[in-house]
A and B are shown apart, each in its own frame.
Chain A
Amino acid sequence: MKVQHTDNPSLSATRGKAGALRSLIPTSLKFQGILWLSLMLLVIVLAASLAIGRYSVPIGETIRILFSRILPLNETWDSLQEAVVMTLRFPRTIAAIIIGSALSLSGATYQSIFKNPMVSPDLLGVSAGACVGAAVAILLDSNSAVIQISAFAGGLIAVAVTTTIPRLIRSESTTILVLSGIVIGSLMTSIMSIIKFVADTDTQLAEITYWMMGSFSQVSFESMAPVLPTIFIPVALILLMRYRLNVLSLGDNEAKTLGINIRTTRGIFILCSTLITASCVCLSGTIGWVGLVIPHTARMIIGADNKKALPIAMIFGGIFMLIIDILCRTITPAELKLGILTGIIGAPFFIFILFKQKRQIR
């Protein structure tokens, strides 16, 4: 505490000004730099994702095929190359970017409102609920659109039940809410076990596994279109309101004395994150780790301020998801499930981050 150290005010004033100048320039420049660098990286990985695969297309051709949709270019590629790039790889590449960035945003939001950096978007049971929804539909031999709707509904119902429990016992405590989430999550896991037990091992079980481990192999623009509004609108709302997350992360009392209506604001954030996660799960199945690891990485690089951390986390999430997807379809002849690689890569990566951040985490 240096209230009284006015023995040499001129000295401390100049030091203050110089320090202010020195620190002002790097912070805003650092954000701009990281933003553009990571966007460039995203574009590179995007191009790689279109070119790399079992049927590899030269990178130059890939870019030409992509731009032929908007520019009048001479066809120097064959129709097979075009089909692979535009029909097979383009939809899943776009899906990977959208889902990776949306899950990262949703995870970062949960981490701020629950004041806990160890929280993932599954905290209130949305993924487990969506899995149960999808599995029930699969058990009833429904078509893929019904499975998608059922997964979405399952996720929302699970979170609705989770958020109702604290209300029933008239508690506003975050701890009660988190405990309810854990209870509902494990209830859903148990239901999943029952469903897997009764499912047809030849057909249904494989499809249920697809949901539980996550994959982009069945994603198309047709399956993506209906959930895009329930991803984009909540994403836009969270990004617009992201400064409130800083204040919410200080705790309920402080946020309230700073003029924030806790219940409404937190409700909006939980609703938006839940919609995002449920939409992602019903497209690609559950994908663990992204929502936990990526916000951490973004905060480690750019700092805790959500004003900067959220956009960076979204770009990182897109890059991470694309790299995972590329690896999934290249390292083994049969395509790997996303959940396997996000776990295998995510867990050691997370330990590395914990190691780097050990001073900041209590």
Chain B
Amino acid sequence: MILQVNNLSFSYHSDRKIFHDVNFSLDHGEVLSILGTNGAGKSTLLNCIANLYHPDSGEILLSGEPMAKMNLRDVAQKIGYVPQIHMPAYAYTVREFVVMGRTPYIGSFATPKAADYKIADEALERMKITHLREKPYTEISGGERQQVLLARVIAQKPRLILLDEPTAHLDYGNQYRVVQMIRQLAEEGYALIMTTHNPEHAIILNGKVAILNCKGVLGVGHAAETLSAETLSKLYGLSIKTVYNGDAGRNVCVVCCQECENRMMGMHS
């Protein structure tokens, strides 16, 4: 088991628990999509697993070893973190940016060697963005930046990849391509966890799903069973239907608004 989370609880201030008694595990090739409303604490949970926040109680085991007892560098060799797309202060080239994924393998007094640049180049090749190599990271599009971030995490060679809303700020097509990329990475054997606001992405990935509700309880299950119309309607406070679409070969989520239902009624009468 790559990741085992036992009875994890976290609160910013002692009064309100963001989440409590969180339990789940993840193995090679598995994807976990974390769903939840704004402010439910999805990113907080992800940041706890990324070793950025320290949980109040509970433990996180990486390949059986307690993460709290590991040093930062060892954790970074096992867990790769893909932040939301952002703009750094300096115009590093894409290649310079990707090679930073090698940091956990580079000594404090060293700079990346030819071997590290080779791994970075392979990651760029893997993402099919070799043509962006010498472009400044600050001057490429949002979709390209997301690919560069993924290339960096591939260069980091972790076992577990955490993605914080990887589809945010992307257009419709790029959102889908990123989800496809995540599925391919799972097929290559990485374990992945991502937070998302779109239940469809969890359905496409067809892996594990975790729903964090406002009371701080995390429910984990398989996408096909967990993402029922009832659960989704309750989570988002909307009337949501899941419909099987034969062309897509999967369920699709449809929001039923009051107005639409009225219009339907009008058409029938």
Give A residues with C-beta under 8 Å from B.
Answer: 1-6, 12, 15-16, 19-20, 23, 27, 112, 115-117, 240-244, 246-247, 249-251, 253-254, 256-261, 265, 299, 303-305, 307, 359-360, 362
Residues of A close to B47: CB separation below 8 A: 253
A247 touches B133 (CB 8 A): no
> Please, which residue of chain B has its CB at the minimum distance from the CB of A117?
B89
How near does chain B come to A253, taking the closest CB pair, in angstroms? 6
How near does chain A come to B11, taking the closest CB pair, in angstroms? 17
For window 73-117 of chain B, which residues contact chain A by CB distance below 8 Å?
A: 73-77, 79-81, 83, 86-93, 96, 100-101, 103-104, 106, 108-112
B91 touches A23 (CB 8 A): no
Residues of A close to B74: CB separation below 8 A: 259
- B127-148 interface mask toward A, CB cutoff 8 Å, 1 = contact, 0 = none? 1111101101011010110110
> Please, which residue of chain A has its CB at the minimum distance from the CB of B83?
A254
How far is B138's CA from A243's CA once the two chains are assembled, in angstroms?
19
A305 touches B92 (CB 8 A): yes
> Is B251's CB within 8 Å of the partner chain A?
no
Q: Which of B26-34, B172-180, B223-231, B254-262 makes up part of the contact surface?
A: B172-180
Residues of A close to B243: CB separation below 8 A: none
Residues of B close to A246: CB separation below 8 A: 92, 96, 100
B89 touches A249 (CB 8 A): yes
Residues of A close to B138: CB separation below 8 A: 360
> Is B238's CB within 8 Å of the partner chain A?
no
Residues of B close to A1: CB separation below 8 A: 141, 143-144, 146-147, 170, 173-174, 177-178
B52 touches A257 (CB 8 A): yes
A16 touches B72 (CB 8 A): no
A243 touches B110 (CB 8 A): yes
Residues of A close to B23: CB separation below 8 A: none
Contact with B75, one of A112, A243, A259 (Cβ below 8 angstroms): A259
How far is B98's CA from A258's CA once the two chains are assembled, in angstroms?
12
How near does chain A come to B63, taking the closest CB pair, in angstroms? 17
Residues of A close to B103: CB separation below 8 A: 243, 247, 258-260
Give B residues with C-beta under 8 Å from A.
Answer: 47, 50-52, 72-77, 79-81, 83, 86-93, 96, 100-101, 103-104, 106, 108-112, 121, 125, 127-131, 133-134, 136, 138-139, 141, 143-144, 146-147, 156, 170, 173-174, 177-178, 180-181
How near does chain A come to B180, taking the closest CB pair, in angstroms? 7
A243 touches B125 (CB 8 A): no
User: What 9 A-B pairs have minimum CB-CB distances, sorted nearest first?
Assistant: A259-B76, A1-B143, A257-B81, A16-B130, A259-B104, A304-B90, A259-B73, A258-B103, A240-B109
How near does chain B come to A18, taking the closest CB pair, in angstroms? 10
B81 touches A254 (CB 8 A): yes
Residues of A close to B93: CB separation below 8 A: 303-305
B130 touches A20 (CB 8 A): yes
Contact with B111, one of A4, A6, A112, A243 (Cβ below 8 angstroms): A243
> A6-B128, A254-B83, A360-B91 given. 4 additional CB < 8 A pairs?
A1-B144, A249-B89, A253-B50, A307-B112
Residues of B close to A27: CB separation below 8 A: 134
Residues of A close to B75: CB separation below 8 A: 259
How far is B86's CA from A362's CA once the two chains are assembled, in angstroms?
13
B128 touches A247 (CB 8 A): no
How near does chain A come to B192, taking the closest CB pair, in angstroms? 15
How near does chain B come to A118, taking the closest CB pair, in angstroms? 10
How near does chain A come to B142, taking the closest CB pair, in angstroms? 9
> Please, which residue of chain B has its CB at the minimum distance from the CB of A360?
B91
How far is B83's CA from A247's CA once the two chains are assembled, in angstroms?
14
Residues of B close to A16: CB separation below 8 A: 125, 130-131
How far is B217's CA from A142's CA once the two chains are assembled, in angstroms?
69
Residues of B close to A243: CB separation below 8 A: 103, 106, 110-112
Residues of B close to A244: CB separation below 8 A: 108
A258 touches B76 (CB 8 A): yes
A5 touches B130 (CB 8 A): no
B83 touches A253 (CB 8 A): yes
Which residue, A3, A4, A241, has most C-beta atoms of chain B within 10 A?
A3
